[in-house]
Structure 1
Amino acid sequence: MTESFQETINKIREAFGQPESFIPLHEPRFRGNEKKYLNDAIDSTFVSSVGAYVDKVEMMLSQIAQTEKAVATVNGTAGIQIALKMVGVSEGEEVITQALTFIATANAIKHNGAVPVFLDVDLDTMGLSPDAVSNFLEEFGEIRENGVYNKKTNRRIAACLPMHTFGFPVHLDKLILVCEKWNLPIVEDSAESLGSTYRNKPTGSFGTLGVFSFNGNKVVTSGGGGVIVTNNHSLAARAKHITTTAKIPHPYEYVHDEIGFNYRLPNLNAALLCAQLEQLDIFLKSKRELASEYQQYFSKSGIHFRTELPETTANYWLMCIELETRKERDLFLSASNSAGVMTRPIWQLLTRSAMYSSCQKDEQKNATFLEDRIVNVPSSAR
C-alpha cells in the first residue's frame, strides 16, 4: 500500500467518522417515518400492489420530476422495459445506448426483444455522447417512410436511451437536437439521477419518458422499486395498465385485454419509499457536503474528483475519482478494500459481456479511457 493510498483511506474514514469499522460504498439511512408508514400499510392489510402509498408515491414522484404523470413499477429495469415499449420499441428493432452503464440498461432493451447499439460517452459527463449519436446516424442512419433505419443491419432504430451516470446528467440539449433531427424518441435512464437537474430542470423530464430506480443502494430506497415519469397522459395510462397485468377495471371480474406484466410496486415498498422521499432534500444536502469535502481534499492531493458541470446540479449518488492508469486504479481498489473501505471500479463495458459482444458499437475511445480509471468511493449520506 503506497503512502498516498493510505492518506486517501484515512481521509475517507475521517469523513465518515469511522476510524476502524467497515465503510460501505452506499448504504441507506432510515431516519424518518419508515417504520410508521410500514406499520400503517400492514395495519391496512393492503400490502401488495394496491394501496394508498402506491398512489402517494406516484404523486410525489410527479412533483419531484416536474412531470404530469408517474407510474410505479417493481424495479427500475422493468420501468425502462415498459417505457421503451411505450415509445414503440418492438422485437428485432434497435435502441441506441451506451456500453458504459449498469447492465440493466441493456437488459431492458433485450427484454423487449430489441437490440442495443452501443455508442461512446462524453469524458465530462460519462454518459451517452450526442456527438457519437450524431456521427453514428450520419454514417449508418437512413430515414424511410416509417422511421430511421440502420443501413448496416436494415433494422429500424426505434429509440435512444441515455443513462445519467452516477447522477451526472448527459448533455441533454445537444442530444435532444440530434434525436429531433432523426425523429428518435428519448427514454431517459434516470435510475441513478433522482434529484439531479439539467439547466434547472429535473432529469427524467426531458425524454418522452424517464425512469428512476429505488434499489437499496440508491439515494432513496424502497428496497426495490422504480417509477416511470412522463408528461404524456395516454402513455402513462397505458404503462399503468400493462404493468398491472392489463386487467380491465371492474369491481369483481377478472378480464384482461392483452398480455400484460406483473410489474406492480407493492404497497409495503411504496410505504418505505414515501418516508424516504420525505427526506430526499436532507440526503441530497448531506451528499453535497461530502462531495465538497472530497473535492477540497482531492484537489490538494492531485487526484481528479468528478464534479458537476456548470449547467447541471448532480445528486452525487456515487462519487468518483479518476486515477492515472488502470494499474493505479487496481492498486487503489486492492488497498482500500483490504483496509475495510469499500470502493469499486466503474462498470466493465457491456460490449465485453458474452451477451452483448456481437452488438454494433463505435470505437468506444472515451468509454475505454474511463473504464480504466474511474473508481467510486464511499458516498452515503451522513
Structure 2
Amino acid sequence: MGSGTQGLHLALKVLDVRSGDLVITPSFTFIATANAISHSGATPWFIDIDSTNWTMDPVRVAEEIEAHAVKRNGALYHLATGRRIAALMPVYTLGTPADMDGLVKVAQQYNLPIVADAAAAIGVRYRERPIGEIADLTVYSFNGNKTITSGGGGMIVGREDLVKRAKHLSSTARVSLDYEHDEVGYNYRMTNLEAAVGCAQLQRLGTFLDAKKRIRAAYDRAFANHEAVAPFPAPSDGESTFWLSGVVLSENQSVKDACTALWASGIEARPFWKPVHLQAPYRGSPCGTMAVTNSIWHRILTLPCSTSLSKDNQALVVSALLQHLES
C-alpha cells in the first residue's frame, strides 16, 4: 500500500463497506482512521474507549448496539439514521491491541467483519497470537513516524481470500499483461524502493521494540511518584509496541504550557490527538457517550521517544519537565 490510510480504505472496500453505511470505531484515534471510512462512502459511529488501555471498549460497543440498532433482513441497522452497520474498526492505540476477544464476540453476535487499525502495532502479539490472525483484515502503517518506516507505505494482512482480493484491487484490478481490467481498481501499490527500505527495517524490528520499551519504562520510573502526572496505560499482558510515550497531566496542569516550556529548552513535546468526534468534518456523525475520551485527551503530553533517544537525552527531558511542573 502507498499508506496505512489507503490500506484501511481498501480493506473496507474488500469487506463490502458501501456508501451510506456506518462503521463502528473509536473517536480516540488519529483522524486518518475516520477518513478511511469516509473515503469508502461510509460514516463512522464513534464509541468510547476503555480507560485501562485506551482502546475501543467492547462493553460500550455491545451496549450501544443493543440500545441504538436493530437486526433486519439479515443485517444490522442504526435506528436513528436507518444506515446499515457494516463493520467494526478497532484501533490498536499506541501499539496496544484492543480487547479483541470481547470485540470478536460482539462481531460474531451481529455478523460484522472486523478491520483492525494496527498502524503502530507491528511486531506485537495478542494473548500469544499474532495480531494479524485475529481480525478479518489488519492494516499496518510505515509512515515516517512509525516504529519501522519505509518513508511511507502500509500493509494489509489477514484472511487469504481477502488479502488476495485487496492485492488485485490495489494494482488497478489488472488481470493480464495485455492490460485487461475486470473492475474499478486503485493504484495503491508501494514502490519497490519503499519496499526495500521496509524489508531492511524489518530486520531491526526487535531492536526498535526493545528501545521503545526501555524508553517507556524510564519515563514511568522517573514520574512514578509525582502527584501532577500519571503514566500512559500499561497493557495487562505486557504486549505493546509502546509506540509513543509520555505522561497524563493532572487537571490543574496545562499541556500547552508544558509544551511551551519544553520547546524553550530545545525539547520537542506535543499534545495528543484531538478526538475525531470533536473535529469539524465529523461533528454530525453518530456518537456514543465519550466519558473516558473527553476526560483524558486534553491532558496527554507526548514526550521524545525515538528509538535513537539516548539515556542522557531522555534524562534531560525528564529534568526539564520536572522543573516545569515544580515551577
* TM-score, with length taken from structure 1: 0.78
Any idea what SS the aligned residue of 2:281 has? coil
* 4+ residue runs over 6 A deviation: none
Q: CA deviation at 1:155?
A: 0.8
In structure 2, the residue matched to 1:329 is 255
Mapped pair 1:238 → 2:165:
yes
Any idea what SS the aligned residue of 1:148 has? strand
In structure 2, the residue matched to 1:263 is 188
Give 5+ residue unaligned stretches, structure 1: 1-72
Mapped pair 1:247 → 2:165:
no
In structure 2, the residue matched to 1:133 is 61
| Alignment deviations for residues 163-213 of structure 1 (CA, whole Å, 9 cap, x no partner) | 111112211111111221111111100001112222122333311000000
- 1:176-255 map, 5 Å: 176-230=104-158, 232-250=159-177, 253-255=178-180
Contact 2:71-2:77 within 8 A present in 1 as well: yes
In structure 2, the residue matched to 1:356 is 282
Contact 1:123-1:370 within 8 A present in 2 as well: no
Instruction: Choose which of 52, 76, 79 in structure 2 pairs with 1:148.
Output: 76
Any idea what SS the aligned residue of 1:299 has? coil
2:83, 2:74 → 1: CA distance?
A: 12
2:75, 2:246 → 1: CA distance?
A: 39
1:339, 1:205 → 2: CA distance?
A: 44
1:89, 1:162 → 2: CA distance?
A: 15
- 1:84-123 map, 5 Å: 84-123=12-51
Contact 1:220-1:276 within 8 A present in 2 as well: yes
1:114, 1:281 → 2: CA distance?
A: 37
2:102, 2:246 → 1: CA distance?
A: 25
The number of aligned residues is 307
Contact 1:118-1:360 within 8 A present in 2 as well: yes
1:98, 1:338 → 2: CA distance?
A: 34
Q: CA deviation at 1:220?
A: 0.3
Q: CA deviation at 1:326?
A: 6.6
Contact 1:326-1:372 within 8 A present in 2 as well: no
In structure 2, the residue matched to 1:284 is 209
| Alignment deviations for residues 133-181 of structure 1 (CA, whole Å, 9 cap, x no partner) | 1111000121122311111111100000011111122111111112211
In structure 2, the residue matched to 1:51 is none
Amino acid of the structure 2 residue aligned with 1:201? R
Q: CA deviation at 1:327?
A: 4.1
Deviates more, 1:294-303 or 1:203-212: 294-303
Q: CA deviation at 1:301?
A: 2.9
1:346/1:326 CA distance change after superposition, 3 Å: farther
| Alignment deviations for residues 288-330 of structure 1 (CA, whole Å, 9 cap, x no partner) | 1122211211113343222422224111111121111274322
| RMSD, matched Cα | 1.3
Amino acid of the structure 1 residue aligned with 2:162? L
In structure 1, the residue matched to 2:197 is 272
2:248, 2:42 → 1: CA distance?
A: 34
Q: CA deviation at 1:114?
A: 0.4
Amino-acid identity (%): 38
Amino acid of the structure 1 residue aligned with 2:220? Q
1:164, 1:233 → 2: CA distance?
A: 22
| Alignment deviations for residues 332-358 of structure 1 (CA, whole Å, 9 cap, x no partner) | 122112222111111111122221110
Relative contact order higher in (CA < 8 Å, ≥ 6 apart) = 1
- 1:302-381 map, 5 Å: 302=227, 303-325=229-251, 327-381=253-307
2:277, 2:20 → 1: CA distance?
A: 19
Give 5+ residue unaligned stretches, structure 2: 309-327
Any idea what SS the aligned residue of 1:227 has? strand
